[in-house]
Structure 1
Amino acid sequence: MPGTTDDAYAEAVRLVLGELPDLPHVPELPARGVWAAMTGRGLAVLDGLAADLQPAGWRLTDVSGVDHRRARSLLAQDLDTVEELAQDHGGAFKTQVVGPWTLAATVEKPRGDKVLSDHGARRELAQALAEGVRLHLADLQRRVRGVDRWIVQVDEPALAAVVHGQVPTASGYGRHRSVDLPEASAHLEWVVAAITEAGGEAWVHSCAPRTPWSLVAGTGVHGLSADLDLLGPGDLDTFAEVLEAGRTAALGVVPPTDPATDPSDAGVTERVQRWLDMLGLDPEAVGEALVVSPTCGLAGATPQWAARAVRLTATVARNL
């Protein structure tokens, strides 16, 4: 969500609680700084590993630096706000965390270059993330006790680049070697298993093209979340199988930034219906297994469009 202040964070929590009663979430406001952005927030969740902010970006260290401590403090502060405002909430609630491969592609080793470049380092990072997510979910469960269905969305925008060998090296002149699919799957499986064992439901989200959705679907994850425009023919089969199995498919169909023309709820609803018709699926048959959402995060939107987008997705869901 857009916003740079504590008041904006509280307003974002009120918005999702008020407009998305069936699936509110813990908002993220990355415009507040690197401590609140995707990588910083992911590092704040890690268990057993320290980090610090260097001129080139986040780097693993022996001892947590001031910026790592600030990221953890800001996360705790945000959860205090969620706890205060969501006390009467029941039903489902979603939180999100950066995935192991996106974290490995954006964080450096202690002596430089991405964690992605070192087999042992990326394994250690994924395991620390899995344990950290387990503790993070337990913390949320203590804070908001009325929730009976916790969903943890694992954000993996860099997964496609990782498996296709498209992540730049430190020099910028080369690319890191692609990660073998069994290893790519295994690291995701650790995080998914940690979420499941902690009593949560794991979804994986990516709004990047060429995301290997069949691989993701095989990790034990309950839900897949993607930009509908970026799904290829093979991906459509994977999403259809997920829906038919009673798992969740979240389709990104609402623009993440202010569009030139305001889309109507009828037009967006018809688009989703056409997609379901193409797959031979009935909206009533898929029921709550189908979710509609913005195509990606709303952090780049104006506050007015962010609020409009949230309300539009809720209206489209009711229409379906």
Structure 2
Amino acid sequence: MWCWARRRSPLRPPPPPSPRRAPSRWPRVPDFPWRPGSATGVGSLPGADIAEAQRIVFGELPELPHLAELPARGPGADMIGRSAGFLVELPVQLYAGRWQVAPRPGKDLRVTADLLERDLDQLTEQGEKYTGPLKIQSAGPWTLAASIDLQLGGRLLRDAGAVRDLTDSLAEGLRRHVEDVRKRLPRAEILLQLDEPSLPTVLAGRVPTESGLGAYRAVPGPDAATALRTVVEAVGVPVIAHCCAPDVPLQVFRDARAAAVALDLSLLKDLDPLGEMLEAGLGLFAGAAPTTPPAGGIDGKKVADRVSTLWKRLAFSPALLPRQVVITPACGLAGVSPSYARAALTACREAGRRLSEV
């Protein structure tokens, strides 16, 4: 934190030393692009009715709604297919149940584009009067590279040049996607979430080859950050880097210049990297509501207590919590019942309200 010293006369004695600051840590907190006490969803929800899903999102998450994702609708609505649909001049197709690079756009991409268009139409209709931050999502370049096959076999990850082409294509496609959403909802402030569940295995060299007898090369952290930064700089909006796997690569996300990191609190082992990230001024999308119904039920107080306990362990000022932290489910909710999905989002909203009133 910069501190400007006042020039003193050489005849004037120096001021007495300031009293020691309380042990609470004070991160360098910028103006975050969300309201204090906000809650949001990770993205996916159960079911196949996008109109109902989007109504639930706007109803339960009024401070920070998101574009709902419904993977139960099948290929093209799944995370990889939907995100591959954003690629520019890099068509994909389904082959033997997997997404692979295609020689030309075909029916699989038409289905993907049609599903996205329906979702955006519902977002436009229901969010017509919405003013405030709005989150959209896509898989990041490393998760796509570890999940999409080359035409000749093997993952895109095996070819560094193919990964660069994929990254550039995704960056341009997401820039266009952001502009499309901005035109549809001109009063909304767009945030982009990049989902990177595969990034820890990419960094560790644990993505298996097709035979299962080997693994692809480990990608160095600086290289991973460079690719992510290409997307961050292209889209021109705040980016939330999301990873709900163990060993979240916080340093990579910091180096990629993400505005915030989204993670599952139950998978945190070492708090020091998280504390350093927060001190550097990044936001935290805290995955605090479990994605499986707990035995005692779920409510906002339990979710809020979980987050406030973490904050106390980090020794940060309580006043910063509602500004720097957004409450979310631990991960996507596509695999739960509709009733629990709604209950989890309600609990996140209630937890955000409780934490902002402390």
Please give the TM-score of this superposition, normalised by the length of structure 2: 0.84
Q: Provide, for residues 133-181 of structure 1, a one-character-per-residue CA deviation record: whole Å limited to 9, x for no partner.
A: 000000000011111x211000000000100011111112211111122
Residue 176 of structure 2: aligned partner: 135
Partner of residue 208, structure 2: 168
Q: CA deviation at 1:89?
A: 0.3
Query: 2:65 & 2:201 partners in 1: Cα distance?
Result: 30
Quote the residue 1:152 is aligned against: 192
Question: Quick one: distance in 2 between partners of 1:66 and 1:222?
Answer: 36
The CA distance in 2 between the partners of 1:82 and 1:302, in whole Å, is: 22
Q: Please state how far the C-alpha of 1:56 moved relative to its aligned partner.
A: 4.4
Tell me how far apart the structure 1 counterparts of residues 111 and 309 of structure 2 sit (CA, whole Å): 46
* Counterpart residue number, 2:113: 72
CA contact (8 A) 1:14 1:85 kept: yes
Q: Deviations over 1:72-108 (max 9, x none)?
A: 1211111011111100100110000000000000000
1:1-320 pair list within 5 angstroms: 1-5=44-48, 8-147=49-188, 149-196=189-236, 200-233=237-270, 236-320=271-355
Secondary structure at the residue paired with 1:318?
helix
Distance in 1 (alpha carbons) for counterparts of 2:125 and 2:342: 21
Per-residue CA distance 1:173-218 (angstroms, 9 max, x = gap)? 211111122211111111111122xxx1101001100121112112
Classify the secondary structure of the residue corresponding to 2:217: coil
2:278 corresponds to which letter in structure 1?
Answer: L
How many correspondences in the alignment? Answer: 312
Greater displacement, 241-250 / 186-195: 241-250
Q: Decide whether the 8 Å contact of 1:3 with 1:9 is kept in 2.
A: no
Q: What secondary structure is seen at the aligned counterpart in 1 of 2:222?
A: helix
Counterpart AA for 2:68:
P
Provide the rounded CA distance (Å) in 2 between the counterparts of 1:296 and 1:3.
Answer: 13
Instruction: Report the more deviating stretch, 177-186 or 115-124.
Output: 177-186
Contact 2:46 2:333 (8 Å CA) reproduced: no
Deviation at 1:41, TM superposition (A): 0.6
- CA contact 1:2–1:302 (8 Å) conserved in 2: no
**What is the rounded CA distance, in whole Å, between the counterparts of 1:245 and 1:297 in structure 2?**
27
Cα distance between partner residues in 1 of 2:297 and 2:336: 13
Over aligned residue pairs, what C-alpha RMSD do you find?
A: 1.4
Structure 1 residues not aligned, in runs of 5+? none
Distance across 2 between alignment mates of 1:229 and 1:3: 22
What one-letter code is carried by the residue in structure 2 that aligns with 1:153?
Answer: Q
**SS of the residue aligned with 1:45?**
coil
Find the aligned partners of 1:61 and 1:267 in 2 and give their Cα distance. 48
How far apart, CA to CA, are the structure 2 residues paired with 1:56 and 1:177? Answer: 24
SS in 2 for 1:53: strand
- Structure with the larger helix share: 1
Higher RCO structure (Cα 8 Å, ≥6 apart): 2
3-state secondary structure, aligned to 2:85:
helix
| Higher alpha-carbon Rg | 2
Q: Distance in 2 between matches of 1:275 and 1:112?
A: 45
Give, in angstroms, the shift of residue 258 of structure 1: 2.7
Please tell me the residue identity of whatever aligns with 1:248. G
Counterpart CA distance in 2 for 1:4 and 1:17 is 17
Give me the TM-score of the superposition, normalised by structure 1. Answer: 0.94
